[in-house]
Amino acid sequence: FTGDLAGRTITGIDTNGPSAVFNLTFDGAPMGTGATGGMDITSGGGWGVFDPAYNFLVSIPGQVVSDGQAPLLLSAQTQTTNEIDVIFSEDLDGRTPTNNDFEVTGFILGLPDAPEISPGVVRLTTDTPFGPGATPEVIYNTVMSNGVKDLNDNTAPDVAVNATDGILPTVTSLGDGLSYFTISAGPYYRTLILAF
């Protein structure tokens, strides 16, 4: 086994009756829903995988093991006054969703593509700014497109989320940015200037 499955050994096999599908049970700690990797299937010489007539499965090296889970849209967060990052549960393998996959309530998405800027994070850009502190609703749907898929072609289910406000506040200084304080020290007066 390779990838997230590396170093694990099989502790049990569920043959699922006469079906060609069987389930493997591994030892060790749980791998989580995003575990992927590869495995070599070896068989022959009186051992390995065989059918009731004792026909052995031919060895198959380098089989890809997918997580079998569809990516889920978890949340969204504004980054600027016209950019929203949409966070999925797993890497989309660098695929580029289109704006047809998304709708931002009350706004028009301005670019033809919604790039995956980091694993599982898609950035949406609107034509017009939605203002600081705004939390527009982001609707993801597969009606007008093929949907957002992960590297195993699992399609994310439709969902709507309200974006959280991720825009940092800005501080604007008033006047010349200096404050003057006169303090008394005995018979003398001193002026203290604070810059901020």
Per-residue pLDDT tens listing for the chain (196 residues): 777 777 788 877 776 666 666 777 887 776 666 677 777 777 766 667 777 777 777 777 777 676 778 888 999 999 998 999 999 988 886 666 778 889 999 999 887 688 888 888 999 999 999 877 788 999 998 876 778 888 778 888 999 999 998 887 776 665 565 666 666 655 665 555 555 4
E strands present in the chain:
2-3, 10-14, 23-26, 37-41, 60-65, 73-80, 83-88, 102-104, 116-118, 121-125, 137-140, 159-162, 178-185, 188-195
Give dist(CA 13, CA 22) in Å, integer.
Answer: 7
**Is 0.85 topped by the overall pTM?**
no
Please list the residues that pair with 2 across neighbouring strands. 38
Q: Is 123 helix (H, G, I), strand (E, B) or coil?
A: strand
Return the closest-CA partner of residue 9 out of 21, 25, 32, 22.
Answer: 25
Q: Which two tokens stand for residue 65?
A: 């093991």
